Amino acid sequence: MAPSLGLAAYLAYARRASHTAPPAQPPRPDGTLVWIHTADTARLDALADLAARLVALRPGVNVLITMPDTADTTGTQGTTAAVTAELPVDTVPAAEAFLAHWSPDLCLWTGGDLRPALLSCAHERGVPLFLIDAEESRLATTAGRWFPDMTRALLPVFSGFTARSEAGARALRRLGVRDGAISIVGPLREGARMLPYNETDRETLSALLRGRPTWLAAAIQPEELPEVLRAYRRVNRLAHRSLLVIVPDDPARGPDFRDALAAGGWRHVVWSEGQMPEETTQILLADTAGELGLWYAVAAITFMGSSLVAGHQGRDPNAPAAHGSAILYGPNVRRHLDTYRRYAEAGAARQVRDAADLAATVQELLPPDRSAAMAHAAWDVASEAAGVTDHIIEIVQESLDEAETP
């Protein structure tokens, strides 16, 4: 790639820039390394989902997720399938040190906000580069924007492009990318994956609960428990046979929840003690770790907790959507606000404000046809997001296969 005058000037400056100590880097894992960069944390959950699927599909693959040191990581969830790190400053020495340490086999760069020195150095090292989830606003904020035509000069380092909309594709075309290199696939978002569960337990519970309206309060904080119980008392006035399953956000708080249920005189059973619900059981306390998939599969309606009170930012609604459960949530879901908004706009989720609102909404959705309509809408939304991730995984697989072919 012959650099433009603007890019050449930028790189000349970036070679002479004063040295800044790079951020500390975690050790590089052995094996193939796919490097994914995000300009902010809005895509982080989607990239964590992408990383988890890549690691599961391709043995020996590791994933590095980078973000700028200015990214707000407050409330971000752990990306357990990936190593995370900050990008260095955009100078040639820092870029070369970063690339020498990580030695990536492929890079997915999301959105825009291009780093001229880092991307140029990666291209010179022969790292396959793909610009994914391109959006017009990000393409206009490339580092080095005071140098003329910087974005147009950088785009040839990429082997392929995906755009989240026609507007993003048009921006790429205006910058000289040929139409055949662009795929318009929609926004990159986290998809819905079913959580594992014991099928025997599901069949046993389904037989025991046949005909009983069942709803789930998942990821509940101790300070939310009184509100959830008030809501259940209201629901139970009209649906006497209804069963509420309560899953604490922290299983270690199970004894506290059990004591509160006992003090309130609720007819309850405790899952960790091997107890099964009987016809007269009102509440099942599911106080074990790693079994949320079972409760999503059993319940037709899920209230996603850690959302009624401030300070917990809500929990990911994709899992209940994957299991065919209608979704309710409180007003405090900042960490997953875009995801909840997407489900709500599709008629797949509803926000509730307090115990009275939660009770009224559960009562409205207890008829199976009403909760099923919401669950179907949730599945449609989640499937659309999964298709975008599938397309990007196919790009990675084909590139890595090509690199491994003698």
Q: What is the pLDDT of residues 192-251, one digit of tens each?
A: 778 899 999 999 999 999 889 999 999 999 999 999 999 999 999 999 999 999 999 999
Residue 176: inside a domain: yes
Same structural domain, 59 and 183:
yes
Same structural domain, 35 and 179:
yes
Q: Is the pLDDT of residue 146 over 80?
A: no
Q: What is the pLDDT of residue 73?
A: 44
CA angle, 69 as apex, 64 and 74 as ends, to 5°?
Answer: 90
Same structural domain, 208 and 267:
yes
Residue 30 CA to residue 86 CA, distance in Å, equals: 20
Q: What is the pLDDT of residue 234?
A: 97
Q: Is the pLDDT of residue 145 over 60?
A: no
49 or 289: which carries more pLDDT confidence? 289
122 or 71: which carries more pLDDT confidence? 122
Residue 42 CA to residue 185 CA, distance in Å, equals: 18
**Residue indicated by tokens 């509420």:** 244
Q: What is the pLDDT of residue 235?
A: 97
Asked if residue 213 lies in contact with residue 241, where contact means CB atoms within 8 angstroms, the answer is: yes
Residue 172: inside a domain: yes
Q: What is the pLDDT of residue 80?
A: 58
Mean pLDDT lowest for which of 3-7, 131-135, 162-166, 329-333? Answer: 3-7
Q: What is the pLDDT of residue 144?
A: 47
pLDDT-derived band at 141, boundaries 50, 70, 90: low
Domain stop point among 138, 154, 188: 188
pLDDT-derived band at 293, boundaries 50, 70, 90: very high
Same structural domain, 174 and 217:
no
Which tokens go with 302? 């899920």
Max avg pLDDT among 173-177, 181-185, 217-221: 217-221
Same structural domain, 55 and 141:
yes
Same structural domain, 66 and 179:
yes
Asked if residue 164 lies in contact with residue 186, where contact means CB atoms within 8 angstroms, the answer is: yes
Domain stop point among 145, 164, 188: 188
Residue 131 CA to residue 164 CA, distance in Å, equals: 11
Segments forming the whole domain that contains residue 138: 5-188
pLDDT tens figures, 338-389:
889 999 999 999 999 999 999 999 999 999 999 999 999 988 887 777 788 8
Residue 392: inside a domain: no
Which tokens go with 351? 């926000």
Residue 388: inside a domain: no
Q: Is the pLDDT of residue 117 over 60?
A: yes
Same structural domain, 166 and 223:
no
CATH code assigned at 362? 3.40.50.2000
Share of the chain above pLDDT 90, in %: 64
Same structural domain, 371 and 268:
yes
pLDDT-derived band at 2, boundaries 50, 70, 90: low
Residue 265 CA to residue 269 CA, distance in Å, equals: 12
Same structural domain, 129 and 32:
yes
Same structural domain, 221 and 321:
yes
Which tokens go with 330? 């409180």
Domain stop point among 168, 188, 208: 188
Residue 352: inside a domain: yes
Residue 364: inside a domain: yes
Count of the separate structural domains present in the chain: 2
Residue 389: inside a domain: no
Q: Report the first-to-last Cα separation within the chain, whole angstroms.
A: 25
Q: Is the pLDDT of residue 300 over 60?
A: yes
Same structural domain, 105 and 233:
no
Mean pLDDT lowest for which of 31-35, 143-147, 257-261? Answer: 143-147
Residue 391: inside a domain: no
Same structural domain, 183 and 213:
no
pLDDT tens figures, 262-287:
999 999 999 999 999 999 999 999 99
CATH code assigned at 84? 3.40.50.11720
Mean pLDDT of the chain: 89
